[in-house]
Amino acid sequence: MVFRRGLGLVAVATLCSLVLTGCAQSSQQYGSDSKDGVYFAVPNGWHTISTKDLNHEESLSTAQGAAERLALVHYQIAFSAQSKFSASDVLSLTAPEQPVVYVRVRGLTNDEIQQVSYNDLRNLVVPLSTWEDGTASSIPVYNVSTDEEAVQKGGRGVHTVFNFTSNGVSQTLNQTGLLSNDHHMLVMFIARCTTACYTKNQSMIEKIVKSFTFRGSN
């Protein structure tokens, strides 16, 4: 996935069998990729940016390997607390004023299989690992508050929470990158907005992140 500088969930039926919260809690809506075992919940009423729109926007990318990666996408969808939020907004690095959640599941290329590292899982949106080791050509003002291993039934990877400043605006990302147990699939779960927005909505955002479950394919 290549995010354009300037970042980056298809509405699905409520999952009464999903034991994240009860079906009686109408304050939430659910997203799922049941084939790959990916589930999560966001507040009811959030605006949906569909798979179709995200795929179309991504198809416009001229970045090397973009078309190959898009062909391997199993599922991608976004939800925003902001009603007028488009696929191009999801895939832009511009900091949103309201919380946005983006989920992406894709197969790995032959070259990527067995080669994805934890640093690669940290670098899904920005080259965080090179900021950390000082090898990046340009390093913005940034801060990492959480960097820990993430282990789910379907795979494992890294959960990172960090903020960085671009164009004078600080943005906070709560990011989880997972590699499936068979090393053939990459799962990305991101919640983000301006740091001021994130601080104001931190409890809600953390609840959304905790709802994220990757069980793997049956």
Residue 42 lies in a domain: yes
Residue 35 lies in a domain: yes
Residue 21 lies in a domain: no
Predicted structure pTM score: 0.87
pLDDT at 118 over 70: yes
Name the E strands within the chain: 28-33, 38-43, 47-49, 73-80, 100-107, 142-152, 155-166, 169-180, 185-194, 213-214
Residue 22 lies in a domain: no
Paired tokens of 110: 């032959």
pLDDT at 218: 65
Residue 63 lies in a domain: yes
CATH number for position 72: 3.40.1000.10
Angle at 162 between CA 42 and CA 184, to 5 degrees: 70
The domain of 97 spans 28-214
Phi first, then psi, for residue 76 (nearest 5°) are -155, 145
Give per-residue pLDDT as tens, 101-117: 999 999 999 889 889 99
Give the total number of structural domains in the chain: 1
Q: CA 205, 208, 210, 212: dihedral to nearest 10 degrees?
A: -140
- Please, which residues bridge with residue 152 across strands? 155
Residue 5 lies in a domain: no
Give per-residue pLDDT as tens, 123-166: 999 999 999 999 999 999 999 999 999 999 999 999 999 999 99
Residue 2 lies in a domain: no
